[in-house]
Amino acid sequence: MLPGWIETPFNDPFWSYQRDPAERRTLIDAEIPLGRHGTPDEVASLVLLLTSSAGRYIAGTSIVVDGGYTAV
């Protein structure tokens, strides 16, 4: 799984080094086709799918969870 910008404390060091975190956040969100950071629940939904019987035949692939950020 390849998560993109997900709203977690993992990003805190990045934000602490920004001159204007709010402005930088706006710029990043503008580059994401869905217009926002993802949520931990959205990543968890994929984890649940992959670990359920519905995902039992998914193998050998990378699934990007980034709101379309790398698709554009």
The number of C-alpha atoms within 13 Å of 19 and in the hemisphere containing its C-beta is 0
Q: Which residue range is the domain that position 22 belongs to?
A: 2-71
Q: What are the tens digits of pLDDT across the range 18-29?
A: 999 999 999 999
Sign of torsion over alpha carbons 39, 10, 63, 57:
negative
What is the domain count for the chain?
1
Q: What are the tens digits of pLDDT across the range 51-70?
A: 999 999 999 999 999 999 99
Report how far residue 19's alpha carbon sits from residue 57's, in angstroms, rounded to the nearest whole number.
46
* 55-to-29, 45, 47 alpha-carbon distances in Å: 30, 12, 9
Q: What is the pTM of this model?
A: 0.85
Paired tokens of 9: 């404390």
